[in-house]
């Protein structure tokens, strides 16, 4: 759980390593609210993503048959006249694509689409989650008592397998839309089918309890006509089963206006966590700021007063409507919710090509999009963006949520990796993504690349070895690594035993500089330079096994140079 305000101030006054914290940093930390009703778990303090997993194609063996969710008529191939999607997936990492009736891509290749029913598709998408800091997947589950049921059941097992394989968590998110007998059938489905998946080590838990989300209570539309009493009964039933229950609720849940019906406050306040919907509510930066001030701030206050965790929805923006602003819209939403003090984030959605607000890999240009179909690619506003761009933004947003990089309104994620090379002789690590073995309190790994000499990374105390690393974004020739501690005299001379390692894939590391005691002395700038025999590497990792000045690994800067 995040350090309390009293604990933070007390530790500074006690003269620990926190004593070197700058006044600006301290005030910034105190200004950020710490309202969490629950400690960090699989949803609190984490990035969750909505996962549909609802696409299929003829020949994939899915029980539902046909082009499920790709076209309005699933028994006809998808085409510009028979479609439900407004964005086109990047198909390069799927081993199997299914021919459609769309025109050929701009580069002349046939237009093919994937099937979620192929295990390789799910594995690929969960690997993307693993690589980009998506901690937990909320698997959407609509009424399983109709013809979708057998396919939905099979998809749950596929998601479970992929989550276990890639070290991700998942939970069931029931969507009650058009579910006539939901009050009784939700219970039956959970008892006879879905609860069995909580035995998986990958099933998400919060406060020691399996997580379940119910999405749709209280919305003012004909697809969700349920009265408050049966909704409240369902929430309390799941809690009685030992579940931690999230409510996917209307945007205006507190007021009972606009998208929300009146009379549901008791239902909303019965949930353990609230996650208000935001898709389609705004497409501008000004709109996001308005919602932050007028909706999210009072939302959080209401939750804090009742011990309810708050997990706002964040979104990349509808690509088909031109909302994205090459990533600035998504970053503003992430920044607003993190500065708010949200307990976790719910990204909507991972694979929602139907609404155009997916973060999964997407066609970069019209060369890989069906020609003349009117589908926008990621470069739609003239800025080139890589297929994984919105995954990379998600990763940086997650780091900001967890205190691994500084809270900043300025998007740190470049649209194309390698498209913003540093000047000759410059620090290759500046502003790049980081990772760590651990950190204490607010001293995350992002501090080693933020350019602030007074901010620093500090590992948990009393446990070695520890490490911190930077991703240079591409394989580069490295000749020199500079390590720093804050320059203040309060940081007395200390020797840290450390080594430098390098990797081109982030998995297999070789030695760049062997382990040795390195002395940091404030009289000479509190810095150490490691000379590397010119090496090709993308990831630079510093591994620390001892520190004479504090029982933890500590660095304020990890700079990497070509020579």
How do residues 227-271 score in pLDDT, each as one tens digit?
Answer: 999 999 999 999 999 999 999 999 999 999 999 999 999 999 999
DSSP 393-427: HHHHHHHHHTTSS---SS----SSTTSSPPPTT--
Mean pLDDT for the stretch of residues 279-297: 97
Q: Distance between CA atoms of 279 and 312, rounded to whole angstroms?
A: 11
Which domains can be identified in the chain, with CATH numbers?
5-31+421-561 (2.60.120.260), 47-401 (3.20.20.80)
Q: What is the pTM of this model?
A: 0.72
CA-closest candidate to residue 150, choices 179, 187, 176, 189: 189
Confidence of residue 25 (pLDDT cuts 50, 70, 90): very low
Q: What is the pLDDT of residue 452?
A: 82
Burial class (CB in 10 A: 0-12, 13-18, 19+), 131: middle
Sequence-distant (≥ 6) Cβ neighbours of residue 388 within 8 angstroms: 128, 132, 361
**Is there a cis peptide before residue 544, judged by omega within 30 degrees of 0?**
no
Q: Is 490 left (phi over 0), alpha (psi -120 to 50) or beta?
A: alpha
DSSP assignment letter at 246? E
DSSP assignment letter at 9? H
**52-66, 318-332, 399-413, 416-430: segment of lowest average pLDDT:** 416-430
- Give the pairing of strands 209-215 and 205-206: antiparallel
SS3 string of 61-109?
CCCCCCCCCCCCCCCCCCECCECCCCCCECCCCCCCCEECCCCCECCCC
Confidence of residue 36 (pLDDT cuts 50, 70, 90): low
Q: What is the dihedral of CA 542, 7, 31, 490, to 10 degrees?
A: -50
Alpha-carbon distance values, 439 to 42, 149, 355, 385, 447 (Å): 18, 44, 38, 32, 11
Q: Distance between CA atoms of 511 and 489, rounded to whole angstroms?
A: 32
CA-closest candidate to residue 73, choices 85, 62, 63, 83: 83
Answer positive or negative: Cα dihedral of 221, 223, 226, 232. Answer: negative
| Share in percent of the chain as helix, strand, coil (round to 5) | 25, 25, 50
- Residue 490 sits at the vertex; the CA angle it makes with 487 and 491, to the nearest 5 degrees, is 60
Confidence of residue 424 (pLDDT cuts 50, 70, 90): low
Q: What is the pLDDT of residue 431?
A: 81
Q: What is the pLDDT of residue 418?
A: 63
């Amino acid at each position: 759980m995040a350090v309390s305000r009293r604990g933070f101030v007390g530790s500074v006054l006690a003269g620990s390593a926190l004593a070197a914290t700058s006044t600006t940093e301290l005030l910034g930390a105190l200004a950020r609210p710490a309202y969490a009703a629950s400690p960090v778990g699989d949803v609190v303090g984490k990035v969750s993503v909505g996962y549909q997993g609802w696409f299929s194609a003829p020949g994939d063996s899915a029980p539902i048959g046909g082009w499920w969710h790709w076209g309005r008529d699933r028994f006809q191939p998808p085409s510009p006249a028979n479609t439900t999607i407004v964005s086109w997936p990047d198909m390069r990492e799927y081993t199997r694509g299914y021919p459609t009736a769309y025109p050929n891509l701009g580069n002349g290749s046939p237009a093919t689409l994937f099937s979620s029913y192929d295990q390789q598709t799910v594995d690929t998408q969960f690997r993307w989650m693993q690589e980009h800091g998506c901690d937990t997947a909320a698997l959407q589950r609509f009424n399983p008592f109709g013809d979708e049921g057998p396919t939905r059941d099979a998809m749950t097992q596929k998601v479970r397998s992929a989550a276990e394989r890639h070290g991700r968590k998942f939970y069931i998110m029931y969507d009650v839309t058009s579910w006539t007998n939901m009050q009784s059938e939700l219970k039956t489905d959970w008892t006879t089918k879905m609860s069995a998946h909580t035995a998986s080590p990958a099933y998400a838990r919060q406060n020691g309890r399996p997580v379940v989300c119910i999405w749709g209570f209280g919305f003012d539309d004909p697809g969700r006509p349920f009265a408050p009493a049966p909704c409240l009964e369902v929430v309390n039933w799941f809690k009685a089963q030992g579940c931690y229950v999230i409510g996917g609720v209307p945007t205006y849940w507190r007021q009972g206006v606009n998208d929300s019906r009146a009379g549901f406050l008791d239902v909303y306040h019965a949930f353990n966590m609230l996650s208000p919907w935001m898709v389609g509510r705004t497409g501008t930066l000004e709109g996001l700021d308005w919602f932050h001030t007028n909706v999210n701030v009072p939302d959080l206050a209401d939750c804090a007063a009742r011990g309810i965790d708050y997990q706002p929805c964040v979104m990349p923006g509808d690509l088909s409507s031109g909302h994205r602003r090459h990533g600035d819209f998504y970053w503003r939403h992430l920044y607003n919710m993190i500065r708010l003090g949200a307990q976790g984030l719910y990204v909507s959605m991972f694979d929602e090509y139907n609404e155009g607000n997916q973060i999964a890999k997407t066609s970069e240009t019209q060369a890989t999009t069906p020609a003349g179909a009117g589908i926008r690619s990621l470069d739609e506003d003239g800025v080139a963006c890589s297929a994984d761009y919105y995954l990379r933004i998600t990763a940086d947003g997650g780091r900001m949520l967890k205190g691994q990089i500084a809270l900043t309104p300025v998007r740190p994620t470049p649209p194309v990796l390698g498209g913003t090379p540093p000047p000759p002789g410059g620090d290759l690590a500046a502003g790049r993504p980081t990772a760590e073995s651990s950190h204490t309190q607010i001293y995350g790994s992002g501090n080693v690349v933020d350019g602030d000499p007074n901010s620093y990374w500090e590992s948990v105390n009393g446990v070695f070895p520890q490490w911190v690393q930077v991703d240079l974004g591409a394989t580069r020739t490295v000749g020199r690594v500079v390590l720093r501690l804050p320059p203040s005299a309060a940081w007395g001379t200390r020797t840290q035993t450390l080594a430098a390692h390098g990797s081109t894939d982030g998995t297999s590391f070789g030695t760049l500089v062997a382990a040795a005691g390195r002395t940091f002395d404030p009289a000479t700038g509190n810095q150490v330079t490691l000379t590397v025999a010119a090496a090709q590497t993308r990831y630079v990792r510093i591994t620390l096994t001892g520190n004479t000045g504090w029982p933890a690994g500590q660095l304020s800067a990890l700079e990497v140079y070509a020579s």
